[in-house]
Structure 1
Amino acid sequence: MACSESKRASSPDAFVVTPKELTLAEATEGIGGAGELCFEIITSTGTFSGRLFEHKAPKTVTNFVGLARGRRLFQDPETGEWVSRPFYDGLTFHRVSAGSFVVGGDPLANGRGGPGYAFGDELTPELRHDRPGILSMANAGPNTNGSQFIVTERPLPELDGAFPVFGALIGGMEVIRRIARAPLLNDQPVEPVVIQSVAFFRRKP
């Protein structure tokens, strides 16, 4: 079932094609360890970690890892120049649906920002919003994925088929609960929740 428009990120004014797209190998080069690809996000509220479905959602994982590690070019919202630096550092979780999900990854912090490009949906039937801690892309409709991502606090089957799933939490779910239940003003945490850093590692399942 398609999600209502109110649960989508607002559409950016325009989409352009990034000068260079990464491969998964380029995005993950140099990440230590062996086994499944994992991430750790440190925020001002706490730290959470998860695994990424690099084999079932390679395009989406490549984009997320490439942006986070500064290997994917994006358009600076202030200058319009194409730059490469860790994209998510310093951004906030700008939207909260209380008790349901949190959204981060918008450089404008208003639901309209992104990396200056969009990429197509990578929808895999077995990857569903079937439990707390699912990581998926926020978007404004089909094939408008950019940088904004969702973390669920509970199962949300109504998001299936519209928001590409590409990971799941393995630790720190209590941090997501704190964010999702924090005092809000216009669907934003009154006390901003800032992404301080995003790191990657591999581990054996």
Structure 2
Amino acid sequence: MNPTAIINTNKGVIEIELFEDVMPITTGNFITLAEQGFYNGIQFHRVIPNFMIQAGDPNTKGPDKSTYGQGGPGFTIQDEFVDNPKLSNVRGTISMANTGQPNSGGSQFFINTRDNVNLDFDKQPLTSKHPVFGQVLSGMEVVDAISTTETGPNDLPVEPVVIESVTIERGGSN
């Protein structure tokens, strides 16, 4: 049974099944960061209607908005390329963000608000694609509400959308 991430935001709760069974590196990294409290207080710093919402940058805890989107955990993880039909960037999936370079993911992630299969990899060694590592189980209405929030420069929400906590549950009903 895969673990579940409960993402509590100031806009509501998003529950996500993490595909630990097929994406152990990416999900393991997300789980470790969540259990360390890394995501607590982080803002969704990039919100693009009819595309995705992105979070995971610790710089968003600070006042310098010019650095939002540039931060990470201080390390990167290995890319995972798995040929599995459930690992497509479709509406409601969560994916690892990266810089477009190999093995550049760390803590930033995004949730697709529409089908974005152009972000999928076809086969190795494609390096600029974004691996899916989970699926929203409940709270898609929260994701949609976040995706339509008013934004300013660099797609940053005018009113901060904050992750208050991320809790990992194992052995649930998924």
TM class, shorter-length: 0.7 to 0.9
How far residue 54 of structure 1 moved from its aligned partner, in angstroms, is: 0.5
Partner of 1:73: none
Contact 2:34 2:168 survives alignment (8 Å): no
Out of 19, 40, 43, the residue aligned to residue 92 of structure 1 is 43
Partner of 1:170: 137
Deviation >3 Å, runs of 4+: none
Give TM-score, length-normalised by structure 2: 0.86
In structure 1, C-alpha distance between the alignment counterparts of 2:38 and 2:152, rounded to whole Å: 25
How far residue 107 of structure 1 moved from its aligned partner, in angstroms, is: 0.8
Partner of 2:93: 134
Q: Could you give the per-residue CA deviations for residues 71-103 of structure 1, whole angstroms, max 9, x where no partner exists?
A: xxxxxxxxxxxxxxx100000000011221000
How far residue 36 of structure 1 moved from its aligned partner, in angstroms, is: 2.5
Structure with greater Cα Rg: 1
Percent identical pairs in the alignment equals 41
1:152 aligns with 2:112: yes
How far residue 181 of structure 1 moved from its aligned partner, in angstroms, is: 0.7
Give TM-score, length-normalised by structure 1: 0.73
In structure 1, C-alpha distance between the alignment counterparts of 2:15 and 2:49, rounded to whole Å: 21
Partner of 2:160: 192
Indicate the SS of the match to 2:3. strand
Partner of 1:39: 5
Contact 1:53 1:167 survives alignment (8 Å): yes
Structure 2, unaligned runs of 5 or more: 61-67, 122-128
How far residue 125 of structure 1 moved from its aligned partner, in angstroms, is: 2.4
Structure 1, unaligned runs of 5 or more: 1-34, 71-85
In structure 1, C-alpha distance between the alignment counterparts of 2:168 and 2:29, rounded to whole Å: 14
Partner of 2:74: 116
Amino acid at match of 1:45: K
Out of 80, 97, 104, the residue aligned to residue 55 of structure 2 is 104
Partner of 1:19: none
Higher relative contact order (CA 8 A, sep 6+): 2
In structure 2, C-alpha distance between the alignment counterparts of 1:177 and 1:123, rounded to whole Å: 28
Contact 1:36 1:204 survives alignment (8 Å): no
CA RMSD of aligned residues (A): 1.0
In structure 1, C-alpha distance between the alignment counterparts of 2:168 and 2:143, rounded to whole Å: 19
